Amino acid sequence: MNGGTYDCIVIGAGHNGLVCAAYLARAGKSVLVLEAAGQVGGAAVTREFTPGFKVSACAHLLHLMPADIVSELNLAGHGLKLASRGLSTTALRESQSPFTLDAAGLSAVSIRDAAGFQAYTAQMRKFAAVLMSALDAPPPRLGTNELKDKLSLLRLGWKLRKLGRRDMRELLRIGGMNVYDLLEEHFETAELKGALGLDATLGTNYGPRTPGTVLSLLYRMACEGAAHNEITAAQGGMGAVCEALAASARAAGAHIRVNATVSRIVVESDRATGVVLAGDEHIRARTIISSADPKSTLLGLLGTRHLDTGFVRSVRHLRGKGLTAKLHLALKELPAFRGVSTQQLRGRLLIAPSLDHIERAYNHSKYGEYSSEPVLEISVPSIDDATLAPTGSHVLSAIVQYAPYDLKGGWDAARQKFLDIAVRRIETFAPGLSTSVLASELVTPVDIERDFKISGGHWHHAEFAFDQFFMVRPVPGAAQYATPLPGLFLCGAGSHPGGGVTGLPGRNAARRIIGMN
């Protein structure tokens, strides 16, 4: 069956696929987006998990998408409304009052840390801004003589140089460090270090003592800086962000089809020329761009026979087994966390009592076990968003670490046990919580793999690590969005700069493709 011809086919309508499609369509390309699921969004989607209760199925907080993407694609004009903004982060404590991570909150806990926090944040944001200049564009290619690549390296060098000698030295000193040692240098309050350490490890295969955790923290802070350092939640959950992206792409002329699973990428005369859908429909295009993860795209949809052995080996070795689970609770009433004000309850609540606690929670995962005392990022989005739960009831949405993809004995046997452990852990801080639970759901990395077609169920599609970052992300030979096969590109979280609802891989890939024509 012949389904027509386009300039570009984008595989997957996760947020990166949609961002890429929107920019390509705005540049005058005819674009078709093909999404396997029945709705757009990928891992940034809203789902009803029990009748009447909706929740963001994976990503729940919008704080990483650069403000210029939001405005260039006119997401507000395409229906995006924020249910809440300026959300605070509060560290929960077992036997003392919780505190919010700002000057006022910290001064109640430690005058030294309150003063240190401002200086630390200012310096880390300065470093993050340097990193941002490398995230916001296709990375340069190594060993070429092209002016474009040299200029890109020069630009980064210049940004570094502009920091001045002291800051430049400090950034070079801390860049490869682990976040444990960095935070020990700066702070004394265990829960403050725990909260900041959790931010560095969320979504990764890391504990705070893992080298590279300062880089992942700077990555997060770089994207947050480009989003004006504001944590927000979309009205209707994360799926509403993708609905607005889809509307923006459609307004620019892109076509989006859901329930359209690509079963293979078509290769003719040594270039990608189209795709075949489940059901055998063949659609042709000059350029195919995949937002599916690199392994699914290159080893699955394309197939190893079109790639050379060395490249196939590096894709096979790509690390990307998820450790992050998501817990959803439908609650009869608003949960009461000990000492937490309504204002604090509107924001993020963190259970990460110390760096050592996170490290111990991580240790289990190295041996294929889940954490017996997991660390969590909790939000109760229904406080500010009545679309998510029936009046008077609420939904609780929590990121839970660590829940290894390769759990010994498998998740079918362990799901309920880990869910109970996570609920009990939250209940330590919110007495009586379990009596209010009407329904619950635990989404493990194995479920993420199945439901969102992300092999390994990893937040970043491929681990965010030095050896899978920047000029070698996801692998050498595919780090500038183009793959070794002419006509085939990547644009999802597995490509530079990485995961999170940023839209950066999607926009960078579109820029690369537009710039090539």
Binding site for ligand FAD (CB under 6 A): 11-17, 34-37, 42-44, 58-61, 64, 203, 261-262, 291-292, 296, 301, 324, 326, 399, 448, 452-454, 459-460, 492-493, 499-501
In whole angstroms, the minimum distance from the beta carbon of 307 to ligand FAD comes to 18
Q: Which amino acid is at 327?
A: L
Taking only Cα atoms into account, the Rg of the chain, rounded to an integer number of angstroms, comes to 22
Nearer to ligand FAD, 96 or 229 (CB): 229
In whole angstroms, the minimum distance from the beta carbon of 423 to ligand FAD comes to 17
Neighbours of 380 (CB within 10 A): 23
- DSSP characters for 466-484? GGGSGGGSS-TTSTTSB-S
Nearer to ligand FAD, 109 or 272 (CB): 272
In whole angstroms, the minimum distance from the beta carbon of 66 to ligand FAD comes to 12
- Give backbone dihedrals phi and psi of 160, rounded to 5 degrees, phi first: -65, -50
Nearer to ligand FAD, 98 or 499 (CB): 499
Tokens representing 477 are 């030979």
In contact, 227 and 65? CB cutoff 8 Å: yes
Q: Rounded distance, CA 24 to CA 19, Å?
A: 9
In whole angstroms, the minimum distance from the beta carbon of 293 to ligand FAD comes to 7
Q: Which residues have CB under 8 Å from 435's CB, separation 6+?
A: none
Nearer to ligand FAD, 115 or 278 (CB): 278
**Residue with CB nearest ligand FAD?**
14
Nearer to ligand FAD, 29 or 60 (CB): 60
In whole angstroms, the minimum distance from the beta carbon of 451 to ligand FAD comes to 8
Nearer to ligand FAD, 13 or 331 (CB): 13
In whole angstroms, the minimum distance from the beta carbon of 309 to ligand FAD comes to 24
Q: Rounded distance, CA 60 to CA 351, Å?
A: 17
In whole angstroms, the minimum distance from the beta carbon of 370 to ligand FAD comes to 14
In contact, 368 and 404? CB cutoff 8 Å: yes
Nearer to ligand FAD, 61 or 482 (CB): 61
> Tokens 């929590």, residue?
398
Tokens representing 98 are 């919780």
In whole angstroms, the minimum distance from the beta carbon of 453 to ligand FAD comes to 4
Rounded (5°) CA angle 13-17-20:
145
Nearer to ligand FAD, 399 or 414 (CB): 399
- Give backbone dihedrals phi and psi of 456, rounded to 5 degrees, phi first: 90, -15
- DSSP characters for 289-344? EE-S-HHIIIIIII-GGGS-HHHHHHHHT------EEEEEEEESS----TT--HHH
Nearer to ligand FAD, 100 or 508 (CB): 508
In contact, 79 and 467? CB cutoff 8 Å: no
In whole angstroms, the minimum distance from the beta carbon of 486 to ligand FAD comes to 21
In whole angstroms, the minimum distance from the beta carbon of 373 to ligand FAD comes to 19
Nearer to ligand FAD, 68 or 188 (CB): 68
Q: Rounded distance, CA 260 to CA 277, Å?
A: 7
Q: Does an H or E element contain 152, and which?
A: helix 147-162
Q: Which residues have CB under 8 Å from 188's CB, separation 6+?
A: 110, 112, 113
Nearer to ligand FAD, 48 or 146 (CB): 48
Q: Rounded distance, CA 312 to CA 23, Å?
A: 30
Q: Rounded distance, CA 68 to CA 508, Å?
A: 13
Nearer to ligand FAD, 180 or 405 (CB): 405
In whole angstroms, the minimum distance from the beta carbon of 276 to ligand FAD comes to 11
In whole angstroms, the minimum distance from the beta carbon of 322 to ligand FAD comes to 6
Q: Which residues have CB under 8 Å from 98's CB, separation 6+?
A: 90, 91, 92, 337, 338, 339, 340, 344, 349, 429
